Amino acid sequence: MYRKERLDKIMEIMNKKKIVDMKLLEELTYESRSTLRRDLIVLEDEHKINRNFGQVELVSNNNVEFGYQVRAGENLECKKYIAGICDTFIGNNQALIIDSSTTASYLEPYLSERNNLVVITNGLHLATSLNGNPKIKTFIASGRLRPFSGSIIGDSARRFMESFHADIAIISCAGVDKNGIYMASDEQSAVKSQMIKQAEKTILLCDHTKINRVDYYRLCGHEDIDVIITDEMPPEDFLQSIEDQNVEVVY
């Protein structure tokens, strides 16, 4: 069977079942594990499936984590606005854990105005932009560099975060509703979860398109978040629910 036929067969199965064990997928496609693995890598690179712990999962437009350049161009003015508000929470002589999100990357000009900062990040782009600033001591996580994203992930990145204690963790997400905060990637979720644990205070950066949106991986509940910064007033029911959970919402 040609590769295109094999890929079409896999997608036919995935569209019906949504989540399939690798062993069952081998049986249904009559492929060897090595051939199936190569085909799944192709589909994963095309953002059609995710592979996680022996399972294959169909992705939709709502739970694909796109590359850095794509994300950086989305809601550009919203992200700059959010970064400007976040700046008001940052002072001199602080240690900050900052994730690899494009929203957080717009903090760079504000950080450059501060003195004696320590920045710990898993974001290649942010670390590069801060390089050479003598007022900022930058630590970048070890681990696997996610293709096209500029994000360093994996268990090495998570363990790296354990070595630090920060005043503030600044993170973004794929979605947030009254029940919690969500990510499109389990590996991103694991690293960000550790970031939250290592900080005294956590600020969530979230533009209006992510409000009342959920994704596959629940990063945390609102009890782990101190401040949500967004670019416009959220829906009243969401706002009331979040404030009832003692989370400050700023917009």
The model's pLDDT over 43-87, given as tens digits with 9 standing for 90+, comes to: 887 778 888 767 888 876 544 454 554 444 456 899 999 999 999
What residues contact 128, with CB distance under 8 A and at least 6 apart? none
Q: How high is the pLDDT of residue 99?
A: 98
The reported pLDDT for the residue numbered 146 is: 85
Distance from C-alpha of 146 to C-alpha of 67, rounded to nearest angstrom: 9
In this predicted structure, what is the pLDDT of residue 53?
A: 65
Query: Within 10 A of 32 (CB to CB), how many other CB atoms are there?
Result: 10
* CA-based R_g, the chain, Å: 20
Cα separation, 222 vs 86, whole angstroms? 18
pTM: 0.73
Q: For 120-135, what is each residue's pLDDT tens digit?
A: 999 999 999 999 899 9
pLDDT at 41: 87
Q: How far apart are CA 101 and CA 96, in angstroms?
A: 14
- The pLDDT of 34-47, averaged and rounded, is 86
pLDDT at 60: 62
Q: How far is CA 55 from the centre of its chain?
A: 21
How far apart are alpha carbons 125 and 149 in whole angstroms? 9
Q: Which of 14, 124, 30, 29 is nearest to 68 (CA)?
A: 124
Lookup: tokens for 199: 């900080």
> What DSSP state is assigned to residue 248?
E
Q: What is the pLDDT of residues 198-245, one digit of tens each?
A: 999 999 999 999 999 988 789 999 999 999 999 999 999 999 999 899
Asked if pLDDT for residue 15 goes beyond 80, the answer is: yes
Residue-level pLDDT at 70: 45
What does the pLDDT read at residue 76? 81
Domains in the chain, ordered, with CATH?
3-58 (1.10.10.10), 69-250 (3.40.50.1360)
